[in-house]
Structure 1
Amino acid sequence: MNDTVVVTSRSFSSGERDLVDTLDRAGLRVVRCPADHDLRTLQPHLAHAVGWIAGTGPVMAEHLQAAPALKVLARYGVGVDAVDLDAAAAGGVVVTNTPGANSEAVAEHTIALLMAALRSVAAGDAMVRRGDWSVIRGRQLSGSVVGVVGFGRVGRGTARQCAALGCDVLVHDPYLPEREIAEDGHTPVPLQRLRTACDVVALHAPGGAVLIDAAWLEDCRPSQLVVNTARADLVDEGAVAMALREGRLFGYAADSLQTEADQDGTSPLLAPDLRAQVTVTPHLGGQTTQAIDRMGEAAVADVLAVLSGRPAHHPVDLPVTARGKES
């Protein structure tokens, strides 16, 4: 067999497992291509591809039309917003993802950001490097009330770890029965209550709607820390910057910013005067060796399953209308 698997994920097989070798031993030829999915670059490789392990770049109808032999598109990660699922269904392409592979890693990173912000880790490090050994008084996490918005895999992991560290955990998730949250040992609450009741609020909701806005910041505790390892668009960054300056919010920590695509540091949260109150990392949440291995293993397992005529382990539901067109 000399079938091609195109790989456009930057971190694929960069952990401890040699997953390229796994595909090689299965008789598949691995071709690495740019993560931006430039069609002109991909086209000659997609022409012979039976599998595609894709990162976050867009997968449009034009990409799929350029891959007439493609049987499986394995999204290396969870989100499939950038994939044209209608086109995939119409072309008979199985789409998969890797749910849960990096959930614990992101939950741990949430705790890392939370701790770093409460104890001024980044600011303290910068001070020492300047020769300044002044004391910054921080806050302890134990005994705090932590609000978790979104109780999926990552939200559950964050809630579990906060509870283990001695926090009272309140959870808001409008899509889950309150009974399910209570069975995990946490208190289900309306979103409004998190504004005034919580010392820390951890965001794990899907994007698309601003949660931390001017109204939230008018009501919340001045001692509140907001941690966002979900989507940048959950937060009004300008309103948060103003609240930090006015002493209406203790701090903000995040793994992404709305302006990151510009690469020019234009976010109001990156202003020099907010350096001690804002902690930001460049999408490090899922970047652990173990998570990279798990995502890669899941993607490879589904590619091999589909190419062998077996059902995928983590198929993505395709649009009914598209499936109808195919039939």
Structure 2
Amino acid sequence: MSETNEAGAATGHEVLVTTPSFGQHASEPWEVFEAAGVRARTASAAHPLTERQLIEEAEGVKALVVGLDPVTAAVLHAAPGLTVVAKHGVGTDNIDLAAAAAQGVRVVNAPGSNTTAVADMTMALLLAAVRRIVPAHASVTAGRWDRFFGPELAGRTLGIVGFGRIGQAVARRARGFDMDLIAYDPHLPAAVFAEQGVPAVTLDELIAAADVITLHLPMPSGGPLLGRAELAAMKPGSCVINTARGGLVDEDALAELLHSGHLAAAGIDVFATEPPAGNPLLTAPNAVLTPHCAAFTQQANAAMGSTVAADVVRVLRGEEPVHAVV
């Protein structure tokens, strides 16, 4: 039986944290739970847990804080005492929202907490890819002095696919490099593009016009947004940056087009399967690859964890969460 302390926090409730990045570089998220009298424990299995592992580890908990773990209908049904699922991040495509709503389980996330970090990483990947920073570094450390040519960003067209918080933050940074901007987002009204001074275009128009395409949308149903045909339709010598979801891009086709030289470079932080063992991008030329770490800054880690922890506590208290998805 849980109790309620003088501050109104429900004590004695247990939270399972499955993602190792929660509070990894910040104590504040853990302190939110401690101050509320909530017991938080980490999963024993490695992240991301499988459906079966999550069912086994979630027994008896009132709340889940997850990363990429599949919170399916089966997981939800196996945890009848579950009250809230918190996504340590923004995208909730790994959570069955309909099943959660049907079971009366609240789902919360942390919108905006990683915007700056991901926008910074997007520009870092772009610069590293087109200016070939990684092979240049390897050349110097190997005792050589190879010179690598690449394009300037000024005057190049950046096509932003997904124009929410992160897409808009990327646009602000790209303006500092004197890039021309266009954007596609089927979920936003025209007024948003007008307010930001960025022309709204169709996806086909963006693919045809962009020198660089950067992705900032959740995973769509029905396959990659940039499939083989879309990638082949990009300008010769153009570049793809993906800090959103691995499944947004046909990775086999992207690797082939990098090998053929049709695409000049790619900066990839996310993969359809992680870690990407055997992925053709691992051997593709001019591909800068990072381990899904775009949101990994100390500031984002503190903000993201504290945001979801505070909403978990609110739900456990019977209050309305601030960042409710369901």
TM-score (norm 2): 0.87
Name the CA shift for 1:232/1:38 in 2 (closer, same or farther; >3 Å).
closer
Give 1:210 shift. 2.9
Q: CA deviation at 1:312?
A: 0.6
Q: Decide whether aligned partners of structure 1 residues 216 and 61 sit closer, same or farther in structure 2, where only a CA change above 3 A counts.
A: closer
**CA–CA distance in 2 between the matches of 1:58 and 1:233?**
15
Contact 1:151–1:172 (CA<8 Å) still a contact in 2?
A: yes
Residue in 2 that maps onto 1:111: 123
Map of 1:30 onto structure 2: 40
Q: Across the two proteins, how many residue pairs are aligned to each other?
A: 312
Give the unaligned 5+ runs of structure 1. 318-327
- Is residue 7 from structure 1 mapped to residue 12 from structure 2 by the alignment? no
Shift of 1:42: 5.8
Structure 1 residue 292 displacement after superposition:
1.2
Name the residue aligned to 2:291. 282
Conservation of the 8 A alpha-carbon contact between 1:217 and 1:248: no
Aligned residue identity for 1:110: T
Partner Cα distance (2:90, 2:236) in 1: 35
- Kindly indicate whether residue 320 of structure 2 is the aligned counterpart of residue 303 of structure 1: no
Please show how residues 30-109 of structure 1 align to structure 2 within 5 Å.
30-33=40-43, 34=45, 35-37=47-49, 46-109=58-121
Map of 2:184 onto structure 1: 172
SS of residue in 1 equivalent to 2:21 = coil
**What corresponds to 1:163 in structure 2?**
175
- Contact kept, 8 Å, 1:50 with 1:71, in 2: the verdict is yes
Q: How does 1:249-260 map to 2 (within 5 A)?
A: 249-260=263-274
How far apart in 2 are the matches of 1:170 and 1:39?
Answer: 40
Q: Which residue of 1 aligns with 2:4?
A: none
Please identify, of 279-288 and 244-253, the stretch whose mean Cα deviation from structure 2 is larger: 244-253
Name which of 131, 135, 142 aligns with 2:147. 135
- Which residue does the alignment assign to 2:212? 200
Q: How far is 1:40 from its partner? A: 6.9
Query: After superposition, what is the alpha-carbon deviation per residue over 1:248-267, rounded to whole angstroms, capped at 9, x for unaligned?
Result: 22111111233535x42x22
Instruction: Find the counterpart in structure 2 of residue 216 from structure 1.
Output: 230
Q: Write the distance in 2 (CA, Å) between the matches of 1:179 and 1:311.
A: 30
Which stretch of the first structure deviates more once superposed, 168-177 or 120-129?
168-177
| Correspondent of 2:138 among 119, 122, 126 | 126
State the 1:47 CA deviation: 4.1
2:153 matched to 1:144? no
Quick one: which amino acid aligns to residue 134 of structure 1?
D
Q: CA deviation at 1:39?
A: 6.8
Aligned-residue Cα RMSD (Å) equals: 2.3
Please state whether the residue corresponding to 2:314 is helix, strand or coil: helix
Cα distance in structure 2, aligned partners of 1:39 and 1:29: 23
Letter matched to residue 53 of structure 1: V
* Deviation (angstroms), 1:145: 1.5
Q: Does residue 1:237 correspond to 2:246, yes or no?
A: no
Give the residue type in structure 2 aligned to 1:59. V
Distance 1:86-1:187 versus aligned 2 partners, 3 A rule = closer
Structure 1 pair 24–135 and aligned structure 2 pair: CA distance change class (3 A)? same
Residues 42/215 of structure 1: CA separation in 2 closer, same or farther (3 Å cut): closer
For residues 211 and 70 of structure 1, the distance between their equivalents in structure 2, rounded to whole angstroms, comes to 34
User: Is the Cα–Cα contact under 8 Å of residues 196 and 221 in structure 1 kept in the other structure?
Assistant: yes
- Could you tell me whether the CA contact under 8 Å between 1:31 and 1:45 is conserved in 2? no
Q: Following TM superposition, by how much is the alpha carbon of 1:222 offset from its aligned partner in structure 2, in angstroms?
A: 1.9
Q: Compare 3-12 and 15-24 and name the one that shifted more.
A: 15-24
1:158 Cα offset (Å): 0.9
Task: Determine the C-alpha separation between the residues in 1 that align with 2:124 and 2:311.
Answer: 32
Stretch deviating more after TM superposition (186-195 or 103-112)? 186-195
Shift of 1:63: 3.1
The one-character-per-residue Cα deviations of 1:184-217 (angstroms, maximum 9, x if unpaired) are 0111222223233222111223323434344334
Q: Distance in 2 between matches of 1:119 and 1:27?
A: 51
Aligned to 2:6: none
3-state DSSP of counterpart to 1:297: helix
Counterpart amino acid of 1:113?
L
CA contact (8 A) 2:51 2:71 kept: no
What SS does structure 2 have at the residue aligned with 1:13? coil
Question: What's the offset of the Cα at 1:218?
Answer: 4.2
| Matching residue of 1:18 | 28
Superposed, 1:179-198 pairs within 5 Å as 179-198=191-210
Alpha-carbon deviation of 1:105? 1.2
Matched residue, 1:267? 279
